[in-house]
Each structure stands twice: as structure tokens, then as C-alpha cells.
Copies of this chain bind each other. A is one copy, B any other.
Amino acid sequence: MALKRFIATALPEIENELQTQIARLDHARLNLFHEMLTYHMGWTGAGAGAEATGKRIRPILVLLAVASCGADWQIGLPAAAAVELLHNFSLVHDDVQDNSDKRRNRSTVWKKWGVPMAINVGDALFVLANQAVLDLEKALPAATVARAASILNEACLDLTRGQYLDMSYEERFDLKIEDYWPMIGGKTSALLAACTQMGALIGGADEPTQQNYRQFGHHLGLAFQVQDDLLGIWGDEKITGKSAASDLTEGKNSLPVLFALEKNAEFAKRWRQGPIGAEEVGEIAAVLEREGARTFALEASQKETDKALGFLEQAQPAGAAGEALLELAKMLLKREQ
């Protein structure tokens, strides 16, 4: 309940802040450039609307962290916009790198306007993220702003590290479980860790509390990604919105897959023979499950969930925002229910 109420209040202000940041590109000669960004953000063009914008989980995490440290969440809006812009930068470039035609049921930016333009749209979202975080200066001392910018940059660098690992793994068949965590740490966790840490920083928490918030976000990200991996193989199509086992046909190096590759039995043999067709996925998912990959991933997810909730407890988030943060964490970690 606390979460629902918070989202209802904060979401319009998040959208408003995002629009203000992106309006930096709203000039006479740049109409189409600006439109490329507003299209990607889900505000304009075919299929625009709530389905297209995504849930803005990351800005909400920032603002709840701010508020649960006892500060006014509105001072965190520029940071909330920054993390969402950064997330969207990575999506636009990801779509080019993965050659993906669709995102949230709409054509991707590169599909609509070509690769060169899409690279530039991603770059612009990246710059806007950096500019947004500097807008914290309106309400906070320069030293805090510089610290927030530094946290954001570290997450950006982790994103590029994770992206590199992800791409370099595509050509490798000798991957092990230990190769999974640094990739996921960069691609998913780093930004969530930055969200909760920045929120605590902005909220005025002391350094140990900031670290507890950071660790909460980090393990939340890891648990979330493992859940995502599980849903990508054994998820209910009707609930996930993705076709079942699409991660297998796409050759994604998810945790269950790496577990089975390390095991080097029936699944590993088939995986090395080349792409898996849609007609085989049911059988291959069953092989994976027999080899213990599902159980292993479920346990890993549970372990990370426990760690995340442990750090959140140590952070002692206060008030209705604290409740809402716990609700959000639980919601993210039990997505199938």
C-alpha cells in the first residue's frame, strides 16, 4: 500500500523531471533528434504510453532511498532522472549491439532511424544523465553533487565492463559459473547499487548507512537478474510477456546455462552444437532441470534475496518510505506471483 501510494505521487514528477532534462535538446533545428529521444522514452510515436515507458523502477528506488533516510524525496529528482536516462542510454546501445528489432513491442531506435542515429541518441541520453545529476546542485552542497556524479560514473563504467563481458562470452563455450557474476554485476547490479547508494547520500545518511543501501541495491540486482534468468527459461509466457524459453533460443549465457556448461553433461553437449530451435526448448529446459540447473539458480536467487533484505534491514529505512522500499524489493524478487 505504501509503495502504491508513493508511486502514484512520485511518478508524474519523475516523468516531468525526465522531460525537463530531455528538453535540453528541444531546439528548432533538432526537432527530429528530440523526437528520437521522446520516442524511445515512450512519450511519442506509435505505441506511446504507460506500456512503452517501462516502470521507472530505478528512479523510484532512488527516491525511496532518499525518503527512507528522512529527507524530502523531491530533492532527489535530478538523480532519479539521471539513473533512468543512463538506463535508457544502455538500452538504446544494447539494441544496436544485439541487433534487436523490438523493445516493449515497439520498433527500436536503430530500426526506425538507422544505426548511426541510434548511437548518437544513446550518447545524448548518456550526456543528459550526467547533466541531470549535476542539477542536484540546486539543493545540495557541491561536494555531495561531485560524490553523486562519481557514484553514477562508476556505475557507467561497470555497465561498459559488463557489456564487454556479455559480448565476449558470445564466442566462448568454456564458460563457468564464476564468469556469470562479474557480467551481471556490471550489466544489472551496478546501476541498482548506484540508485540506492545515491539515494542514501542525497538523503543525508552517514557513510556506513550509504554502504548498507548500496549493498542492498547490489544484491537486489543480482537476485533480480537470476530471477530473470529463471523466468527466461521456465517462466509462464502469459505472465512474463516473453515467449517461453526465449533465452535458450537466443543463446543467452544465463546462470542455469553456465551451471550446466560447467557440469559438462547432456545439456552442454547440445549447447555447443549450435543454436537451439523453438521446437526443442521444452525438451532442453527439461534436461537443464534434470541436471540441477533450476534448483541451483533458485538457491542462488534466494541467497542473494536474503543478502539484499539483510542489508536493507541494517540500513534501517524509516517511515512509510522504508515500508515502500521493502515492498518494492519483495515485488521485484517475486515477480511471478
Contact = CB atoms under 8 A, between A and B. Distances in A.
Interface of A: 24-25, 27, 29-30, 32-33, 93, 96-98, 115-117, 119-120, 122-124, 126-128, 130-131, 134, 137, 141-143, 145-146, 149-150, 153-154, 156-157, 159-161, 163-165, 167-168, 179, 182
Contact of A117 (B146, B156, B167): B167
Top-9 shortest CB links A-B: A97-B116, A142-B142, A142-B143, A124-B160, A127-B156, A33-B164, A142-B146, A127-B157, A131-B153
Contacts of A157: 24-25, 124, 127-128, 131
How would you classify the secondary structure of chain A's contact residues: helix, strand, loop or mixed? helix
A34 to B, nearest CB: 9
Given A29-B182, A96-B115, A149 B120 contact: no
Nearest to A146: B142
B128 A32 contact: no
A145 to B, nearest CB: 5
Contact of A137 (B24, B97, B146): B146
8 contacts: A93-B120, A93-B123, A97-B116, A97-B119, A120-B160, A122-B123, A123-B156, A141-B142
B160 A127 contact: yes
Given A32-B168, A127-B153, A165-B29, A119 B142 contact: no
